[in-house]
Structure 1
Amino acid sequence: MTAPAPDTTAPLALPGFDDAPSVSKDEPHYLGHRARLKQRFLEAGPEALPDYELMELVLCRTLPRMDVKPLAKQLIATFGSFADVLAAPYERLTEIKGIKDATATDFKVIEAAARRFAKGAIGKRAVLSSWSAVLDYCRTAMAFDDVERFRILFLDKKNGLIADEVQQSGTVDHTPVYPREVVRRALELRASALILVHNHPSGDPTPSRADIEMTRTIADIAKPLGIELHDHVIVGREGHASFRGLRLI
Protein backbone atom coordinates (compact mmCIF):
# COMPACT_ATOMS: atom_id res chain seq x y z
CA MET A 1 0.00 0.00 0.00
CA THR A 2 1.35 3.45 -0.91
CA ALA A 3 1.94 5.74 2.03
CA PRO A 4 -0.18 8.92 2.00
CA ALA A 5 1.59 12.08 0.86
CA PRO A 6 2.62 14.48 3.63
CA ASP A 7 0.28 17.37 4.33
CA THR A 8 2.07 20.47 3.03
CA THR A 9 -0.80 22.75 4.09
CA ALA A 10 -0.23 22.22 7.81
CA PRO A 11 0.65 25.43 9.73
CA LEU A 12 4.32 26.13 10.40
CA ALA A 13 5.50 24.78 13.75
CA LEU A 14 7.80 26.77 15.98
CA PRO A 15 9.93 25.08 18.66
CA GLY A 16 8.57 25.49 22.16
CA PHE A 17 4.91 25.87 21.13
CA ASP A 18 1.86 23.66 21.35
CA ASP A 19 0.56 23.39 17.79
CA ALA A 20 -2.97 22.54 18.87
CA PRO A 21 -5.44 25.42 18.31
CA SER A 22 -7.09 24.63 21.64
CA VAL A 23 -6.15 22.91 24.88
CA SER A 24 -8.04 20.72 27.28
CA LYS A 25 -9.26 21.90 30.67
CA ASP A 26 -6.59 19.79 32.35
CA GLU A 27 -3.68 21.60 30.65
CA PRO A 28 -2.12 24.87 31.86
CA HIS A 29 -3.99 28.00 30.80
CA TYR A 30 -0.95 29.56 29.13
CA LEU A 31 -0.80 26.89 26.41
CA GLY A 32 -3.90 28.27 24.74
CA HIS A 33 -2.52 31.80 24.93
CA ARG A 34 0.76 30.59 23.48
CA ALA A 35 -0.95 28.88 20.54
CA ARG A 36 -2.99 32.01 19.79
CA LEU A 37 0.11 34.18 20.04
CA LYS A 38 1.96 31.95 17.61
CA GLN A 39 -0.91 32.11 15.12
CA ARG A 40 -1.06 35.91 15.34
CA PHE A 41 2.68 36.10 14.71
CA LEU A 42 2.45 33.82 11.65
CA GLU A 43 -0.67 35.43 10.17
CA ALA A 44 -0.31 39.13 11.02
CA GLY A 45 3.48 39.35 11.26
CA PRO A 46 5.79 40.55 14.05
CA GLU A 47 4.61 44.17 13.76
CA ALA A 48 1.24 43.08 15.16
CA LEU A 49 2.87 42.11 18.48
CA PRO A 50 4.00 44.55 21.17
CA ASP A 51 7.49 44.09 22.57
CA TYR A 52 6.48 41.94 25.52
CA GLU A 53 4.56 39.48 23.32
CA LEU A 54 7.50 39.12 20.94
CA MET A 55 9.62 38.50 24.02
CA GLU A 56 7.17 35.77 25.07
CA LEU A 57 7.80 33.97 21.78
CA VAL A 58 11.52 33.99 22.42
CA LEU A 59 11.15 32.84 26.03
CA CYS A 60 8.93 29.93 25.01
CA ARG A 61 11.90 28.25 23.33
CA THR A 62 13.87 27.73 26.52
CA LEU A 63 11.01 27.89 29.02
CA PRO A 64 8.33 25.71 27.38
CA ARG A 65 6.68 24.58 30.63
CA MET A 66 5.87 27.85 32.35
CA ASP A 67 3.78 30.97 31.84
CA VAL A 68 6.37 33.40 30.46
CA LYS A 69 4.12 36.44 30.09
CA PRO A 70 5.00 37.93 33.52
CA LEU A 71 8.71 37.37 32.87
CA ALA A 72 8.48 38.98 29.43
CA LYS A 73 6.81 42.05 30.91
CA GLN A 74 9.41 42.23 33.68
CA LEU A 75 12.26 42.15 31.15
CA ILE A 76 10.76 44.97 29.09
CA ALA A 77 10.09 47.03 32.23
CA THR A 78 13.66 46.46 33.48
CA PHE A 79 15.58 47.16 30.30
CA GLY A 80 13.21 49.37 28.29
CA SER A 81 12.41 47.60 25.02
CA PHE A 82 12.79 44.32 23.13
CA ALA A 83 16.03 45.59 21.57
CA ASP A 84 17.35 46.71 24.97
CA VAL A 85 16.75 43.24 26.41
CA LEU A 86 18.70 41.56 23.59
CA ALA A 87 21.55 44.05 23.94
CA ALA A 88 21.76 43.84 27.73
CA PRO A 89 25.00 42.35 29.13
CA TYR A 90 24.84 38.61 29.71
CA GLU A 91 25.56 39.05 33.42
CA ARG A 92 22.69 41.51 33.90
CA LEU A 93 20.28 39.20 32.12
CA THR A 94 21.08 36.26 34.38
CA GLU A 95 20.45 38.45 37.43
CA ILE A 96 16.75 38.42 36.53
CA LYS A 97 14.91 35.64 38.36
CA GLY A 98 13.87 33.03 35.80
CA ILE A 99 16.60 33.84 33.25
CA LYS A 100 19.10 31.01 33.14
CA ASP A 101 22.14 30.49 30.94
CA ALA A 102 20.17 28.91 28.08
CA THR A 103 17.73 31.83 27.83
CA ALA A 104 20.45 34.48 28.09
CA THR A 105 22.40 32.66 25.37
CA ASP A 106 19.30 32.65 23.16
CA PHE A 107 19.06 36.42 23.54
CA LYS A 108 22.70 36.93 22.58
CA VAL A 109 22.37 34.62 19.56
CA ILE A 110 19.35 36.60 18.34
CA GLU A 111 21.25 39.85 18.89
CA ALA A 112 24.22 38.53 16.90
CA ALA A 113 21.91 37.34 14.11
CA ALA A 114 20.28 40.78 13.90
CA ARG A 115 23.67 42.46 13.59
CA ARG A 116 24.85 39.96 10.98
CA PHE A 117 21.65 40.46 8.97
CA ALA A 118 21.95 44.25 9.11
CA LYS A 119 25.61 44.14 8.08
CA GLY A 120 24.76 41.86 5.16
CA ALA A 121 22.46 44.54 3.80
CA ILE A 122 25.41 46.88 3.19
CA GLY A 123 28.15 44.38 2.41
CA LYS A 124 27.50 43.81 -1.28
CA ARG A 125 26.42 47.19 -2.58
CA ALA A 126 27.58 50.79 -2.78
CA VAL A 127 27.15 52.11 0.74
CA LEU A 128 25.90 55.55 -0.24
CA SER A 129 23.19 54.06 -2.46
CA SER A 130 21.72 52.24 0.55
CA TRP A 131 22.00 54.90 3.25
CA SER A 132 18.94 53.69 5.15
CA ALA A 133 20.54 50.24 5.40
CA VAL A 134 23.73 51.86 6.73
CA LEU A 135 21.76 53.67 9.43
CA ASP A 136 19.87 50.50 10.32
CA TYR A 137 23.15 48.63 10.64
CA CYS A 138 24.76 51.33 12.78
CA ARG A 139 21.81 51.44 15.15
CA THR A 140 21.59 47.66 15.37
CA ALA A 141 25.32 47.32 15.97
CA MET A 142 25.86 50.14 18.45
CA ALA A 143 22.83 52.08 19.67
CA PHE A 144 22.22 49.85 22.68
CA ASP A 145 25.82 49.40 23.86
CA ASP A 146 26.45 50.52 27.43
CA VAL A 147 29.87 52.06 26.63
CA GLU A 148 30.98 54.34 23.82
CA ARG A 149 32.53 52.70 20.77
CA PHE A 150 34.09 54.35 17.74
CA ARG A 151 33.57 52.51 14.44
CA ILE A 152 34.82 53.26 10.92
CA LEU A 153 33.43 52.10 7.60
CA PHE A 154 36.26 52.14 5.04
CA LEU A 155 35.07 52.58 1.43
CA ASP A 156 36.65 52.12 -2.00
CA LYS A 157 36.40 54.46 -5.02
CA LYS A 158 32.93 53.12 -5.83
CA ASN A 159 31.80 53.54 -2.22
CA GLY A 160 31.83 49.80 -1.68
CA LEU A 161 32.63 48.56 1.81
CA ILE A 162 36.27 47.50 2.24
CA ALA A 163 36.22 47.04 6.00
CA ASP A 164 34.11 47.72 9.06
CA GLU A 165 36.21 48.12 12.19
CA VAL A 166 35.68 49.18 15.79
CA GLN A 167 38.73 51.33 16.45
CA GLN A 168 38.21 52.22 20.09
CA SER A 169 36.01 51.36 23.06
CA GLY A 170 35.75 53.71 26.02
CA THR A 171 33.57 54.48 29.00
CA VAL A 172 29.90 55.35 29.34
CA ASP A 173 30.53 58.90 28.07
CA HIS A 174 33.94 58.99 26.37
CA THR A 175 35.96 57.18 23.71
CA PRO A 176 39.53 58.22 22.90
CA VAL A 177 39.97 58.82 19.16
CA TYR A 178 43.32 59.53 17.48
CA PRO A 179 42.77 61.20 14.10
CA ARG A 180 46.19 60.31 12.67
CA GLU A 181 45.62 56.63 13.53
CA VAL A 182 42.28 56.74 11.72
CA VAL A 183 43.91 58.12 8.58
CA ARG A 184 46.88 55.75 8.86
CA ARG A 185 44.51 52.78 8.87
CA ALA A 186 42.63 54.19 5.86
CA LEU A 187 45.92 54.38 3.95
CA GLU A 188 46.77 50.79 4.91
CA LEU A 189 43.45 49.62 3.48
CA ARG A 190 43.77 51.91 0.44
CA ALA A 191 40.40 53.41 1.28
CA SER A 192 39.11 56.37 -0.70
CA ALA A 193 36.45 57.43 1.77
CA LEU A 194 35.35 57.02 5.38
CA ILE A 195 32.16 57.00 7.39
CA LEU A 196 32.71 57.49 11.11
CA VAL A 197 30.20 56.06 13.57
CA HIS A 198 29.99 56.18 17.32
CA ASN A 199 27.30 55.75 19.93
CA HIS A 200 26.05 57.74 22.89
CA PRO A 201 24.96 55.33 25.65
CA SER A 202 22.94 58.17 27.20
CA GLY A 203 20.54 57.73 24.27
CA ASP A 204 20.83 61.34 23.04
CA PRO A 205 22.73 61.42 19.71
CA THR A 206 23.38 65.18 19.79
CA PRO A 207 27.06 65.84 18.86
CA SER A 208 29.26 67.33 21.57
CA ARG A 209 31.84 70.05 20.95
CA ALA A 210 34.58 67.41 21.27
CA ASP A 211 32.80 65.24 18.67
CA ILE A 212 32.70 68.13 16.22
CA GLU A 213 36.35 69.12 16.72
CA MET A 214 37.59 65.54 16.38
CA THR A 215 35.58 65.03 13.18
CA ARG A 216 36.91 68.19 11.56
CA THR A 217 40.47 67.24 12.49
CA ILE A 218 40.10 63.86 10.77
CA ALA A 219 38.61 65.53 7.68
CA ASP A 220 41.45 68.07 7.54
CA ILE A 221 44.13 65.36 7.77
CA ALA A 222 42.43 62.99 5.31
CA LYS A 223 41.54 65.42 2.53
CA PRO A 224 45.08 66.23 1.30
CA LEU A 225 45.72 62.48 1.08
CA GLY A 226 42.76 61.93 -1.23
CA ILE A 227 40.52 60.41 1.43
CA GLU A 228 37.04 61.88 1.74
CA LEU A 229 35.06 61.91 4.96
CA HIS A 230 31.48 61.22 3.82
CA ASP A 231 29.83 61.51 7.22
CA HIS A 232 30.04 60.99 10.94
CA VAL A 233 26.95 59.36 12.40
CA ILE A 234 26.14 59.28 16.10
CA VAL A 235 23.58 56.68 17.17
CA GLY A 236 21.62 56.31 20.39
CA ARG A 237 18.42 54.82 21.68
CA GLU A 238 16.58 58.04 20.79
CA GLY A 239 17.69 58.11 17.14
CA HIS A 240 20.73 59.25 15.19
CA ALA A 241 22.53 62.43 14.15
CA SER A 242 24.35 62.90 10.86
CA PHE A 243 27.14 65.49 10.73
CA ARG A 244 26.56 65.88 6.99
CA GLY A 245 22.85 66.38 7.56
CA LEU A 246 23.55 68.93 10.29
CA ARG A 247 26.10 70.68 8.02
CA LEU A 248 28.88 70.20 10.55
CA ILE A 249 31.27 68.92 7.85
Structure 2
Amino acid sequence: MRKRGDGILDTAPAGLGEAAVPHYHGHRQRLRERFMEAGEAALADYELMELLLFRAIPRRDVKPLAKALVERFGSFAEAIAARPERLREIPGLPESAIVDLKVAEAAARRLARGALEKRTVLSSFSAVMDYCRTAMAYAEREQFRILFLDKRNALIADEVQGVGTVDHTPVYPHEVVRRALELGASALILAHNHPSGDPTPSAADIRMTKEIAVIAQPFGICVHDHLIVGRNGQTSFKGLKLI
Protein backbone atom coordinates (compact mmCIF):
# COMPACT_ATOMS: atom_id res chain seq x y z
CA MET A 1 0.00 0.00 0.00
CA ARG A 2 1.40 3.41 -0.94
CA LYS A 3 0.26 7.03 -0.78
CA ARG A 4 -0.64 8.63 -4.09
CA GLY A 5 0.09 12.23 -5.05
CA ASP A 6 -3.46 13.31 -4.26
CA GLY A 7 -3.28 12.05 -0.67
CA ILE A 8 -5.41 8.93 -1.24
CA LEU A 9 -4.00 5.53 -0.38
CA ASP A 10 -3.38 3.41 -3.45
CA THR A 11 -4.28 -0.16 -2.54
CA ALA A 12 -3.00 -1.73 -5.78
CA PRO A 13 -0.57 -4.55 -4.92
CA ALA A 14 3.08 -3.89 -5.68
CA GLY A 15 4.41 -5.65 -8.72
CA LEU A 16 1.33 -5.35 -10.90
CA GLY A 17 2.97 -2.60 -12.93
CA GLU A 18 1.60 0.69 -14.23
CA ALA A 19 -1.45 -1.02 -15.73
CA ALA A 20 -2.90 -1.38 -12.21
CA VAL A 21 -2.67 2.37 -11.49
CA PRO A 22 -5.90 4.32 -12.30
CA HIS A 23 -5.59 6.61 -15.30
CA TYR A 24 -6.37 9.60 -13.08
CA HIS A 25 -3.45 8.83 -10.74
CA GLY A 26 -2.04 12.16 -9.47
CA HIS A 27 -4.64 14.19 -11.37
CA ARG A 28 -6.19 15.72 -8.26
CA GLN A 29 -2.90 17.02 -6.94
CA ARG A 30 -1.88 18.41 -10.33
CA LEU A 31 -5.21 20.21 -10.68
CA ARG A 32 -4.98 21.66 -7.18
CA GLU A 33 -1.44 22.89 -7.87
CA ARG A 34 -2.46 24.50 -11.16
CA PHE A 35 -5.33 26.26 -9.41
CA MET A 36 -3.11 27.57 -6.61
CA GLU A 37 -0.35 28.69 -8.98
CA ALA A 38 -2.38 30.17 -11.84
CA GLY A 39 -5.81 30.88 -10.34
CA GLU A 40 -9.32 30.06 -11.48
CA ALA A 41 -8.83 31.71 -14.89
CA ALA A 42 -6.45 28.87 -15.82
CA LEU A 43 -9.17 26.25 -15.31
CA ALA A 44 -12.07 25.29 -17.53
CA ASP A 45 -15.53 25.25 -15.95
CA TYR A 46 -15.50 21.47 -15.58
CA GLU A 47 -12.07 21.56 -13.89
CA LEU A 48 -13.29 24.08 -11.31
CA MET A 49 -16.27 21.78 -10.79
CA GLU A 50 -13.88 18.86 -10.25
CA LEU A 51 -12.18 20.76 -7.43
CA LEU A 52 -15.53 21.15 -5.69
CA LEU A 53 -16.39 17.49 -6.11
CA PHE A 54 -13.06 16.15 -4.79
CA ARG A 55 -14.00 16.51 -1.10
CA ALA A 56 -17.42 14.89 -1.37
CA ILE A 57 -16.26 12.10 -3.70
CA PRO A 58 -12.77 11.10 -2.50
CA ARG A 59 -12.20 7.81 -4.34
CA ARG A 60 -13.55 8.21 -7.83
CA ASP A 61 -12.65 9.86 -11.10
CA VAL A 62 -15.00 12.87 -10.98
CA LYS A 63 -14.10 14.40 -14.34
CA PRO A 64 -17.02 12.73 -16.20
CA LEU A 65 -19.44 13.87 -13.49
CA ALA A 66 -18.04 17.43 -13.56
CA LYS A 67 -18.42 17.58 -17.33
CA ALA A 68 -21.96 16.21 -17.10
CA LEU A 69 -22.95 18.93 -14.61
CA VAL A 70 -21.53 21.74 -16.75
CA GLU A 71 -23.11 20.31 -19.90
CA ARG A 72 -26.50 19.81 -18.25
CA PHE A 73 -26.79 23.32 -16.81
CA GLY A 74 -24.66 25.29 -19.27
CA SER A 75 -21.79 26.58 -17.15
CA PHE A 76 -20.11 26.31 -13.73
CA ALA A 77 -22.14 29.28 -12.45
CA GLU A 78 -25.44 27.82 -13.64
CA ALA A 79 -24.62 24.43 -12.13
CA ILE A 80 -23.95 25.74 -8.62
CA ALA A 81 -27.05 27.97 -8.88
CA ALA A 82 -29.31 25.05 -9.86
CA ARG A 83 -32.00 24.05 -7.39
CA PRO A 84 -31.13 21.00 -5.24
CA GLU A 85 -33.98 18.98 -6.72
CA ARG A 86 -32.54 19.48 -10.20
CA LEU A 87 -29.05 18.56 -9.04
CA ARG A 88 -30.46 15.34 -7.60
CA GLU A 89 -31.43 14.34 -11.14
CA ILE A 90 -27.75 13.92 -12.04
CA PRO A 91 -26.77 10.21 -11.77
CA GLY A 92 -23.92 9.59 -9.35
CA LEU A 93 -24.06 12.98 -7.62
CA PRO A 94 -24.23 12.36 -3.84
CA GLU A 95 -26.11 14.61 -1.43
CA SER A 96 -22.82 15.68 0.18
CA ALA A 97 -21.67 17.07 -3.18
CA ILE A 98 -24.95 18.95 -3.62
CA VAL A 99 -24.41 20.57 -0.22
CA ASP A 100 -20.89 21.61 -1.27
CA LEU A 101 -22.21 23.17 -4.49
CA LYS A 102 -24.81 25.18 -2.60
CA VAL A 103 -22.16 26.30 -0.08
CA ALA A 104 -20.07 27.57 -3.01
CA GLU A 105 -23.07 29.51 -4.30
CA ALA A 106 -23.70 31.03 -0.86
CA ALA A 107 -20.03 31.98 -0.52
CA ALA A 108 -20.14 33.82 -3.85
CA ARG A 109 -23.18 35.80 -2.71
CA ARG A 110 -21.54 36.68 0.62
CA LEU A 111 -18.42 37.95 -1.15
CA ALA A 112 -20.43 40.10 -3.55
CA ARG A 113 -22.63 41.43 -0.74
CA GLY A 114 -19.55 42.29 1.32
CA ALA A 115 -18.41 44.63 -1.43
CA LEU A 116 -21.67 46.58 -1.01
CA GLU A 117 -21.74 46.73 2.76
CA LYS A 118 -18.38 48.48 3.04
CA ARG A 119 -19.24 51.48 0.90
CA THR A 120 -21.96 53.89 -0.13
CA VAL A 121 -23.98 51.84 -2.57
CA LEU A 122 -24.37 54.52 -5.22
CA SER A 123 -20.62 55.16 -5.26
CA SER A 124 -20.04 51.82 -6.92
CA PHE A 125 -22.58 50.92 -9.56
CA SER A 126 -20.38 48.04 -10.71
CA ALA A 127 -20.46 46.49 -7.21
CA VAL A 128 -24.26 46.73 -7.14
CA MET A 129 -24.53 45.09 -10.56
CA ASP A 130 -21.98 42.41 -9.66
CA TYR A 131 -23.94 41.57 -6.53
CA CYS A 132 -27.27 41.34 -8.37
CA ARG A 133 -25.73 39.19 -11.08
CA THR A 134 -24.16 36.89 -8.50
CA ALA A 135 -27.37 36.65 -6.50
CA MET A 136 -29.88 36.19 -9.30
CA ALA A 137 -28.59 36.01 -12.87
CA TYR A 138 -28.52 32.21 -13.02
CA ALA A 139 -31.64 31.50 -10.98
CA GLU A 140 -34.21 29.34 -12.76
CA ARG A 141 -37.18 31.39 -11.52
CA GLU A 142 -37.79 35.11 -11.43
CA GLN A 143 -36.89 36.85 -8.17
CA PHE A 144 -37.75 40.41 -7.21
CA ARG A 145 -35.13 41.89 -4.90
CA ILE A 146 -34.95 45.29 -3.20
CA LEU A 147 -31.92 47.07 -1.80
CA PHE A 148 -33.13 49.47 0.92
CA LEU A 149 -30.84 52.49 1.45
CA ASP A 150 -30.55 55.16 4.11
CA LYS A 151 -30.07 58.93 3.60
CA ARG A 152 -26.36 58.40 2.89
CA ASN A 153 -27.22 55.68 0.37
CA ALA A 154 -25.71 53.00 2.59
CA LEU A 155 -27.33 49.58 2.57
CA ILE A 156 -29.94 49.00 5.30
CA ALA A 157 -31.31 45.71 4.02
CA ASP A 158 -31.36 43.46 1.00
CA GLU A 159 -34.55 41.44 0.68
CA VAL A 160 -36.15 39.13 -1.85
CA GLN A 161 -39.76 40.28 -1.99
CA GLY A 162 -41.03 37.52 -4.21
CA VAL A 163 -40.11 34.43 -6.23
CA GLY A 164 -42.27 33.54 -9.20
CA THR A 165 -42.22 31.42 -12.32
CA VAL A 166 -39.77 31.37 -15.20
CA ASP A 167 -41.21 34.60 -16.61
CA HIS A 168 -43.23 36.34 -13.90
CA THR A 169 -42.97 37.44 -10.27
CA PRO A 170 -45.94 39.10 -8.55
CA VAL A 171 -44.95 42.50 -7.17
CA TYR A 172 -47.23 44.67 -5.02
CA PRO A 173 -46.07 48.31 -5.10
CA HIS A 174 -47.87 49.30 -1.89
CA GLU A 175 -46.16 46.43 -0.05
CA VAL A 176 -42.77 47.57 -1.36
CA VAL A 177 -43.30 51.08 0.00
CA ARG A 178 -44.75 49.78 3.27
CA ARG A 179 -41.61 47.72 3.84
CA ALA A 180 -39.40 50.72 3.02
CA LEU A 181 -41.23 52.76 5.67
CA GLU A 182 -40.82 49.95 8.23
CA LEU A 183 -37.07 49.95 7.64
CA GLY A 184 -36.76 53.75 7.60
CA ALA A 185 -35.37 53.65 4.07
CA SER A 186 -34.91 56.84 2.07
CA ALA A 187 -34.18 55.20 -1.26
CA LEU A 188 -34.57 51.93 -3.13
CA ILE A 189 -32.79 50.00 -5.84
CA LEU A 190 -35.11 47.44 -7.40
CA ALA A 191 -33.72 44.36 -9.10
CA HIS A 192 -35.00 41.22 -10.72
CA ASN A 193 -33.75 38.52 -13.04
CA HIS A 194 -34.92 37.19 -16.38
CA PRO A 195 -34.30 33.42 -16.48
CA SER A 196 -34.62 33.60 -20.28
CA GLY A 197 -31.25 35.36 -20.25
CA ASP A 198 -32.49 38.47 -22.06
CA PRO A 199 -32.42 41.51 -19.72
CA THR A 200 -34.68 43.68 -21.88
CA PRO A 201 -37.40 45.33 -19.74
CA SER A 202 -40.98 44.32 -20.50
CA ALA A 203 -43.89 46.74 -20.59
CA ALA A 204 -45.03 45.26 -17.26
CA ASP A 205 -41.58 45.88 -15.74
CA ILE A 206 -41.69 49.53 -16.78
CA ARG A 207 -45.27 50.02 -15.58
CA MET A 208 -44.58 48.42 -12.18
CA THR A 209 -41.43 50.50 -11.64
CA LYS A 210 -43.21 53.76 -12.36
CA GLU A 211 -46.05 52.78 -10.03
CA ILE A 212 -43.64 52.11 -7.14
CA ALA A 213 -41.90 55.45 -7.77
CA VAL A 214 -45.22 57.35 -7.76
CA ILE A 215 -46.41 55.74 -4.51
CA ALA A 216 -43.01 56.22 -2.80
CA GLN A 217 -42.51 59.87 -3.76
CA PRO A 218 -44.95 61.45 -1.22
CA PHE A 219 -43.08 59.64 1.58
CA GLY A 220 -39.73 61.07 0.49
CA ILE A 221 -38.53 57.70 -0.80
CA CYS A 222 -36.61 57.75 -4.08
CA VAL A 223 -36.31 54.86 -6.52
CA HIS A 224 -32.72 55.21 -7.73
CA ASP A 225 -32.75 52.42 -10.28
CA HIS A 226 -34.27 49.15 -11.40
CA LEU A 227 -31.78 46.53 -12.55
CA ILE A 228 -32.60 43.50 -14.66
CA VAL A 229 -29.99 40.76 -14.84
CA GLY A 230 -29.75 37.65 -16.97
CA ARG A 231 -27.06 35.24 -18.05
CA ASN A 232 -26.71 37.22 -21.29
CA GLY A 233 -26.28 40.67 -19.75
CA GLN A 234 -27.88 43.31 -17.58
CA THR A 235 -30.02 46.44 -17.93
CA SER A 236 -30.33 49.63 -15.87
CA PHE A 237 -33.57 51.59 -16.05
CA LYS A 238 -31.62 54.71 -15.14
CA GLY A 239 -29.18 54.02 -17.95
CA LEU A 240 -32.13 53.65 -20.36
CA LYS A 241 -33.65 56.87 -18.97
CA LEU A 242 -36.75 54.97 -17.83
CA ILE A 243 -36.38 56.51 -14.36
TM > 0.5 fold call: yes
Q: Where in structure 1 do 4 or more consecutive aligned residues deviate above 6 Å?
A: none
Counterpart mapping for 1:1-249 below 5 A = 18=6, 25=18, 26-249=20-243
Paired with 1:168 and 1:72, the residues of 2 have a C-alpha distance of 32
Paired with 2:104 and 2:170, the residues of 1 have a C-alpha distance of 30
The C-alpha deviation readout for 1:39-65, integer Å capped at 9, x for no partner, is 110111111111011111111111121
Query: Match of 1:14?
Result: none
SS in structure 2 at match of 1:167: strand
User: How many aligned positions are there?
Assistant: 231
The C-alpha deviation readout for 1:203-230, integer Å capped at 9, x for no partner, is 1111000000111111122122211111
How far off its partner does 1:165 sit? 0.9
Paired with 1:106 and 1:233, the residues of 2 have a C-alpha distance of 29
How far off its partner does 1:19 sit? 5.5
Flag structure 1 segments of 5+ consecutive residues without an equivalent.
Answer: 1-16
- For 1:192, give the aligned amino acid: S
How far off its partner does 1:84 sit? 0.7
Paired with 1:38 and 1:231, the residues of 2 have a C-alpha distance of 42
User: How many percent of aligned residue pairs carry the same amino acid?
Assistant: 68
- For 1:184, give the aligned amino acid: R
The TM-score normalised by the length of structure 2 is 0.90
- For 1:67, give the aligned amino acid: D
SS in structure 2 at match of 1:28: coil
Work out whether residues 6 and 27 of structure 2, in 8 Å CA contact, stay in contact via their aligned partners in 1: no
Paired with 1:62 and 1:150, the residues of 2 have a C-alpha distance of 33
Paired with 1:117 and 1:58, the residues of 2 have a C-alpha distance of 18
Paired with 2:88 and 2:205, the residues of 1 have a C-alpha distance of 35
SS in structure 1 at match of 2:165: coil
